[in-house]
């Protein structure tokens, strides 16, 4: 049943609309054993038309297996009920990761159509399992006997998690409630696919076309060259095209002298999904929030947030709001100070307008250069993508002894994907790692790490994982390699951290792979700390032209500037976390005017007008199409953990062997086999402290 977590993250739904012919079954690669290296999906042989028949057959197969478990005449045992359920759905486990990964990273209109067909099918299967009374009866019997069954710790945890999944999936409801729950789940699955699809269309639709060279003033050569390439690709050679994709819009907002063009592109960005056209997401947002609230009520929870958070380290909304509020006031105070220095810079340059959201990044860059003499573009010249991932692999090697061996015989779904075999310190095979770095029209925004195959044991054999990291990094241009900004470098390390969490996993049951969302960013965010450590920077940075290592002076400047603009970054992020929580604190059947709701949520926390919430509701993909509902706070919750955990290294040394071994054994290998706080305490020897985070973000003065 490993796909359960997948569909939450991925996509979903609406009526069948096409009449395309299914490929003949015998030619469908999903029905064969894959003879590729390490059993990586044979992407070159998989076409759009293979998915639906494979998923349908997979669903039918799993339904049969589940029925057989439910109708067994034997008395229920761990092996014949819980373990069999965990292993059920092998074909579906093979198809759905390929499908959901491709609909995120390399999608097309046909695949999106299929996604809308598939989502309600998967939602219905999920309901058929959790709402099956006979099956639940057997699961419950095993659960009731759990103390007497002589189970190992993983087995016991699997019994508990399985039972809880059924209860949370509605197993205890009456027939009427079950019927309504199914309808709600089905509709939600469709809406979340539509939300993501609309956003992709809106993001791709906008272009800022510049035909006057003077309008490029202030922009670095890298950004100009990329814009010229983008124009050429769009059939507008000789002009410059800027888009709403991260490598295009953020440099534009940081450097373009033309204030009106900055206003135009940021306005386009923040109006996505809110333009009253056919891709408008407002109704979808309101409906999703109402349906989630209704579902929570059916299941016996006050709100969707209560329902979600029960499974997290935070435990309940008070736990989340408590941390957010603790950080909000100091962050807001720092952001107001930052706004003052930006306003002063505006005045110093002989202007008299009031700082606006499209000015923040631009003047922040100016203040940064004046105060720290740190020029991001100068830094970029040392950060070639090629060296950065070598640097990230270097850190993984120093910490855990891992080797990433590039292999060209591993199948890939796009020519730009890089393929690696990952080996443990003793040379044994750990898994496969795919890396997909640059934006394409068929890829959604952001960066993520996912799996084509999760690690687990099957018939006593350790099945090793196939992991993919997908990013939207700056492209190489005609005469330059891909040069990354500092934030992109941190993202690269971050996603590799998620990758390591998957690659190092050593658990028996796929059903225990799920980790609480406010814990799952610990392995990723801790990796960011190594990215800018001088000891690491010196090893892997090289100037892209001269090959010279990064000068000490520049490293010092990077370190000095680390706390710069943290008020902005923290406020922008926390505001989105509050907004997410507020959306999921609704009680049932409250339909909302999305814009008014958002405005009220942000006024309540007194968000300053110079800062736009990091995601406005109509493009808040994390929470409306990405599995982070009532979970966006998780990044900062995990940051409490990662700053505290990184300190455990720093207290000894950057690559301290014993600390790394403990982190690997107690955290990275464990998946969700134990309570997250218990795992953390075993690593750290105590509960996490919030102090290192406050210091790192400059939100608190060091005492003593
Ligand atoms: Zn992450």
Q: Which residues are catalytic, by number?
A: 495
Rounded to the nearest whole angstrom, what is the distance from the C-alpha of residue 323 to the centroid of ligand 1?
A: 19
pLDDT value for 377: 87
Rounded to the nearest whole angstrom, what is the distance from the C-alpha of residue 618 to the centroid of ligand 1?
A: 21
pTM for this model (two decimals): 0.87
| Per-residue H/E/C for 474-505 | CCCECCECCECCHHHHHHHHHHHHHHHHHHCC
Rounded to the nearest whole angstrom, what is the distance from the C-alpha of residue 593 to the centroid of ligand 1?
A: 31
pLDDT value for 5: 38
Rounded to the nearest whole angstrom, what is the distance from the C-alpha of residue 521 to the centroid of ligand 1?
A: 5
Q: Which residues contact 325 (CB under 8 A, 6 or more apart)?
A: none
Flag whether pLDDT at 19 surpasses 60. no
Flag whether pLDDT at 17 surpasses 60. no
pLDDT 10s digits, 391-415: 999 999 999 999 999 999 999 999 9
For β-strands 403-406 and 240-242, DSSP reports them as unpaired
Rounded to the nearest whole angstrom, what is the distance from the C-alpha of residue 498 to the centroid of ligand 1?
A: 7
How many whole angstroms separate alpha carbon 86 and alpha carbon 240?
A: 53
How many whole angstroms separate alpha carbon 123 and alpha carbon 100?
A: 14
Rounded to the nearest whole angstrom, what is the distance from the C-alpha of residue 478 to the centroid of ligand 1?
A: 31
How many whole angstroms separate alpha carbon 120 and alpha carbon 126?
A: 10
pLDDT 10s digits, 56-111: 999 999 999 999 999 999 999 999 999 999 999 999 999 999 999 999 999 999 99
Q: How many CB atoms lie within 10 A of CB 163?
A: 19
pLDDT 10s digits, 294-342: 999 999 999 999 999 999 999 999 999 999 999 999 999 999 999 999 9
For β-strands 466-470 and 429-436, DSSP reports them as parallel
Q: Could you tell me what percent of the chain has a pLDDT over 70? A: 96
pLDDT value for 2: 42
pLDDT value for 222: 87
Average model confidence (pLDDT) across the chain: 93
Flag whether pLDDT at 9 surpasses 70. no
Nearest-10 crossing angle of helices 486-503, 385-400: 40
Rounded to the nearest whole angstrom, what is the distance from the C-alpha of residue 499 to the centroid of ligand 1?
A: 10
Rounded to the nearest whole angstrom, what is the distance from the C-alpha of residue 496 to the centroid of ligand 1?
A: 9
Section 241-246 average pLDDT: 95
How many whole angstroms separate alpha carbon 362 and alpha carbon 263?
A: 11
Helices (H) and strands (E) in the chain, counts: 28, 9
pLDDT value for 562: 87
pLDDT band per the 50, 70, 90 thresholds, residue 15: very low
pLDDT value for 698: 87
pLDDT 10s digits, 142-188: 999 999 999 999 999 999 999 999 999 999 999 999 999 999 999 99
What DSSP character marks residue 208?
E
Q: What is the CA radius of gyration of the chain?
A: 25
Section 230-239 average pLDDT: 95
C-alpha neighbours within 13 Å on the C-beta side of residue 429: 13
How many whole angstroms separate alpha carbon 190 and alpha carbon 181?
A: 14
Section 648-669 average pLDDT: 98
Flag whether pLDDT at 23 surpasses 60. no
pLDDT value for 26: 56
pLDDT band per the 50, 70, 90 thresholds, residue 478: confident
């Amino acid at each position: 049943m490993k796909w359960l977590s997948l569909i939450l993250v991925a996509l979903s739904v609406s009526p069948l609309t096409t009449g395309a012919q299914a490929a003949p079954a015998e030619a469908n690669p999903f029905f064969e054993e894959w003879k590729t290296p390490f059993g990586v999906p044979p992407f070159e042989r998989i076409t759009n038309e293979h998915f639906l028949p494979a998923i349908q057959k997979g669903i039918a197969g799993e339904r049969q297996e589940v029925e057989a478990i439910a109708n067994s005449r034997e008395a229920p045992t761990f092996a014949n009920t819980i373990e069999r359920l965990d292993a059920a759905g092998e074909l579906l486990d093979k198809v759905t990761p390929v499908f959901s990964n491709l609909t995120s990273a390399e999608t097309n209109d046909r695949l999106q159509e299929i996604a809308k067909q598939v989502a309600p099918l998967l939602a219905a299967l999920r309901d058929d399992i959790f709402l099956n009374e006979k099956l639940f009866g057997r699961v419950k019997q095993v659960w009731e006997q759990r103390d007497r069954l002589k189970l190992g710790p993983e087995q016991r945890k699997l019994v508990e998690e399985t039972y809880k999944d059924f209860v949370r999936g509605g197993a205890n409801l009456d027939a009427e409630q079950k019927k309504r729950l199914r309808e709600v789940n089905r509709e939600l699955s469709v809406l979340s696919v539509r939300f993501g699809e609309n956003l992709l269309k809106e993001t791709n639709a906008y272009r800022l076309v510049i035909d006057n060279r003077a309008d490029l003033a202030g922009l670095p050569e890298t950004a100009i060259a990329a814009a010229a390439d983008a124009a050429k690709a769009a059939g507008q050679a000789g002009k410059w095209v800027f888009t709403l994709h991260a490598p295009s819009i953020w440099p534009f907002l940081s450097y373009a002298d033309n204030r009106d063009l900055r206003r135009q592109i940021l306005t386009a960005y923040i109006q996505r999904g809110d333009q009253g056209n056919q891709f408008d997401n407002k109704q979808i947002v309101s409906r999703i929030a109402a349906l989630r609230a209704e579902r929570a009520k059916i299941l016996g929870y006050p709100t969707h947030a209560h329902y979600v958070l029960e499974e997290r380290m935070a435990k309940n909304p008070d736990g989340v709001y408590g941390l957010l509020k603790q950080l909000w006031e100091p962050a807001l105070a720092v952001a107001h100070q930052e706004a003052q220095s930006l306003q002063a810079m505006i005045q110093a340059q002989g202007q008299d307008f009031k700082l606006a959201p499209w000015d923040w990044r631009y003047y922040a860059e100016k203040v940064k250069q004046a105060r720290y003499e740190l020029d991001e573009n100068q830094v970029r010249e040392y950060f070639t993508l090629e060296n950065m991932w070598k640097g990230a692999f270097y850190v993984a090697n120093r910490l855990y002894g891992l080797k990433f061996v590039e292999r060209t015989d591993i199948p890939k779904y796009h020519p730009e994907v890089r393929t690696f075999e990952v080996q443990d310190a003793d040379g044994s095979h750990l898994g496969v790692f795919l890396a997909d770095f640059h934006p394409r029209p068929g890829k959604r925004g952001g960066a993520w790490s996912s799996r084509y195959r999760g690690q687990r044991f099957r018939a006593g054999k350790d099945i090793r994982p196939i992991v993919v990291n997908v990013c939207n990094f700056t492209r190489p241009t005609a005469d330059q390699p891909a040069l990354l900004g500092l934030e992109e470098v941190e993202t690269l390390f971050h996603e590799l951290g998620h990758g390591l969490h998957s690659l190092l996993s050593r658990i028996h049951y796929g059903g225990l792979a799920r980790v609480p969302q406010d814990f799952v960013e610990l392995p990723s965010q801790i990796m960011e700390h190594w990215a800018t450590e001088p000891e690491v920077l010196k090893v892997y940075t090289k100037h892209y032209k001269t090959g010279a290592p990064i000068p000490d002076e520049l490293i010092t400047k990077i370190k000095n500037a680390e706390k710069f603009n943290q008020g902005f970054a923290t406020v922008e992020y926390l505001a989105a976390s509050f907004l997410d929580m507020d959306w999921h604190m609704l009680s049932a059947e409250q339909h909302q005017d999305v814009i008014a709701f958002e405005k009220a949520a942000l006024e309540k926390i007194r968000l300053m007008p110079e800062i736009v919430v990091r995601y406005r509701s109509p493009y808040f993909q994390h929470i409306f199409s990405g599995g982070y509902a009532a979970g966006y706070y998780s990044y900062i919750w995990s940051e409490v953990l990662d700053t505290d955990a990184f300190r455990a290294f720093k207290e000894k040394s950057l690559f301290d062997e014993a600390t790394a071994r403990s982190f690997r054994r107690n955290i990275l290998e464990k998946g969700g086999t134990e309570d997250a706080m218990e795992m953390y305490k075993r690593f750290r020897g105590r509960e996490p402290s919030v102090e290192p985070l406050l210091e790192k973000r400059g939100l608190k003065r060091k005492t003593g």
